[in-house]
Chain A
Amino acid sequence: MLRLIGTRALLGVATLFAVSVLIFVCTQILPGDVASAVLGNQATPEALAVFRKELGLDQPATVRYFNWFLGAIQGDLGKALTNGRVIIDEIKPRFYNTMFLAGYSALIAVPLSVGLGIIAAIREGRMIDRMSNVLTLMTISVPEFFIGYVLIILFAVNLPWFPSLATVYDEMPISERFYVATLPALTLTMLVAAHMLRMTRTSVLSIMSSPYIEMAFLKGLPRSRVVVRHALPNAAAPIITVIALNLAYLVVGVVVVEAVFTYPGVGQYMVDAVSKRDVPVVQACGLLFAGVFVGLNTLADIAAILVNPRLRHKR
């Protein structure tokens, strides 16, 4: 089993390396270059030439890739082309904010949806099963900004319980952070709940038809105990995968929610950089997101191995 886990981890690293190449290549073939994007319609040919030279855009791409990659593994992501600020210093607080929001949402979303999924499986076909299904499907079916605006209207304007601006700052005490980030966290919860809930319910139910579950029922165990003790451990692997995918989404896919609530996360930083062709920043954000994505999925694979009773116990 250790070998299995080791292979998974190595595979993760290899994926990350491949992604780094891909990110670099993709940023090279973006239309237009940073010089013309930054200067906009001020871009006279002389200004462009001066700026390109200043940015080192006249060097070959392979040289730039290795310079970048070697720097990146040492934690040096370079300086932003547009304003010359050190990227790692800019990205750190934003990444912390992003992780904070993702963590906050996960804290609500994961127990809620997995719990509801299990309950729905236990009470299959009953009121609570139907209700939770319909409600979460409804929230996943509308665009995220719409949910955001509805929450703002309800809980920031009509009932002034929470601020509509969720901007968090370094010096904010943690309790206040939780308070201001409530609406975006709820928005994200609604976005990811349905997926996890339905996957939990389905995978538990699919196990329920196995012979050994029938055996458990025949032993006279109550349905809830059968589900939690017997069905769930075997149903865990797909649930974990779905949770990991959704957690990754909470980190990398929330730019619209960030914009609606003016939340200073990495997403907005990356969008700004893309529109200005600030290549080092785009690369840094891309690498970060790829790292989170690959990391979470690798962890999920490893966790799935660990919880699988057949792999856990040596034969």
Chain B
Amino acid sequence: MLDRKELDTTSTGLVVDRRQVMAAAAALGLATGLTALPAEAQETPKKGGTLKLGMEGGSASDSLDPRTYADSVAIAYSLMACNCLVEIDDKGNATPELAESWEAKPGATEWVFNIRKGIKFSTGKELDADDVIYSIGLHRGETKSPAKGILEPITEIKKTGSHQITIKLSGGNADLPFVLSDYHLIILPNGYNDFTKTLIGTGAYTLDKFEPGVRIIATRRKDGEYWKKGRGNFDSIELRYILDAAARTQALVTGQVDAVNRLDPKTAELVMKAPTVNVVRSKASGLRYAFVAHRDTAPYTNNDLIMALKYGIDRQKIVDTVFKGFASIGNDHLISPANPYFDAALPQHPYDPDKASFHFKKAGISGPIELQVSEGAFSGATDSAVLYQEALKKAGIALDVKRVSGDGYWSNVWLKSPFCAVYWGSRPTADLQYSQTFLSSAAWNDTNWKRPEFDKIVIAARAELDTAKRKTMYAEAQKMVAEDGGMICFAISDFLDGYSKKVKGVAVHARYDLCDMRIAEKGWFA
């Protein structure tokens, strides 16, 4: 029962507003002020009450150490006590959090971040550049932190003032603020390494009880107002682990909790009808579901076979049947329609049994093709594979669906089986999305698809400051992946949050569910 949902560094969808980054990258954008409140939040937030959260995405092995965070519950509790340098707003823009402004030198290889002044940790210590350098340093060098990979291009972090740091990169990266919004990169006091009892941070709450797998209790800090105006409104937070989707839904409907994540698509329609419940749906923000074929292994080296496999899948039927319509169809290249770099001009691969049949005959493959699936890959993988099998049958292609154990799936099957099921979380930027999955050098290149031309485009796009040019480059990259790559990405899921109607300040967020996991900070009771 390995739950790999969101085990990726910075999974889940992100609508990236590139303009702001570009502005910053061009050393123009001094982003100032606080994150805009959600549209609904124009009414003044009220203080008070205990927010009861019921969440999936954690277990008894959860830890407070940011180098271990891998799932929703950990993100939620860390953000009660701590802040990051950069926050992602509802629309997906990188906005200032503990970094009050930033600018890049031309070429985007050197960045200056100004740290907000007068911010206090819950111990009373004031935040300065050393804390930031220490906290980011936790994820660099000899470490098992999942954020190590995305920080790899950083060659040096230098203190250039009591409240200023300068970051040097090995290559230009216009997306650095997005990288620093990663949930592992919470800011802790310099030298803090006791993660057994609580977390010391600059957040709105302090963690009073940490019982992993059972509950987490946080109370609002007593030492003055939270530094973000209108945020941190609850007196206390009680986060309960409710791993069973039915139990979670039940708890919300019967009012035992005020908010839950990951509503079951199968029952979401019914929950929406409950008079006390408000369901927030973030379209195509969730997980990318795919079948991946190793392009360097026969018979998947054959282009026509790959085309046959892409035309032979009835995406809409899988979305409607397996995900009850709470997902969007994918076009085999991982970039969500919500991403500004999504190329709408690229034709969607339709379900076309005739074309599939044509390509399959041209490929001249004999014998059935084996697809390894498991519910351990993602919930619904087996059903999707069976529907795929049916759809391929109409094109005269025999698909053998082999069910394998979910236990050890990620170490025994994924990356090893030449054709298997996988999910990918969305990365905050198009660059990360592609760098981690499709570059020849990527450790998790699960299609073994290695194309030097593609590598060149992605690396050039990373440092490209001109949005229009960048857009053409990513369009080219998408086309290459969609037409030549071994990934059949058939669906991108929606996030479904459930709230009690008395919880205000909730909105669709571009990145994670539950208001980017900041519901404790952003919400309030009517």
Contacts and interface: CB of A to CB of B under 8 A. Distances in A.
Interface of A: 30-33, 36-45, 47, 50-51, 54, 80, 82-85, 90, 149, 152, 156-157, 160, 163-165, 167, 169, 259-262, 264, 268-269, 271-276, 278, 281
A40 B410 contact: yes
A275 B247 CA distance: 21
A82 B411 contact: no
Interface stretch (B114-122, B144-152, B473-481): B144-152
B247 A164 contact: yes
Interface string B160-188: 00000000000000000000000000000
Given A31-B408, A47-B144, A268-B213, A276 B61 contact: yes
Contact of B243 (A43, A169, A259): A259
Contact of A32 (B54, B211, B412, B443): B412
Contacts of B244: 259-260, 262
Contact of B213 (A165, A169, A264): A264
Nearest to B250: A164
Contact of B144 (A50, A165, A275, A278): A50
Majority SS of interface residues in chain B?
A: loop
A75 to B, nearest CB: 19
A264 B243 CA distance: 11
A164 B257 CA distance: 11
Contacts, number: 143
A82 B514 CA distance: 26
Contacts of B60: 90, 268-269, 272-273, 281
9 contacts: A40-B7, A40-B70, A42-B7, A44-B148, A47-B144, A50-B143, A84-B195, A90-B60, A259-B247
B212 A164 contact: no
Contacts of A167: 214-215, 240
B411 A84 contact: no
Closest 8 CB pairs of A and B: A83-B63, A82-B61, A40-B7, A31-B408, A272-B59, A32-B411, A42-B146, A32-B408
Interface of B: 1-4, 7-9, 54, 59-63, 65, 68, 70, 142-144, 146, 148-149, 195-196, 211-215, 240-244, 246-247, 250-251, 253-254, 256-257, 405, 407-408, 410-412, 414, 443-444
Contacts of A260: 244, 246-247
B250 A269 contact: no
Majority SS of interface residues in chain A?
A: helix
Contact of B444 (A41, A80, A264, A275): A41
Nearest to B405: A31
A269 B59 CA distance: 8
Nearest to A270: B60
A39 B247 contact: no
B61 A83 contact: yes
A269 B7 CA distance: 20
B62 A275 contact: no
B461 to A, nearest CB: 23
Nearest to A39: B144
A264 B7 contact: no
A149 B246 contact: yes
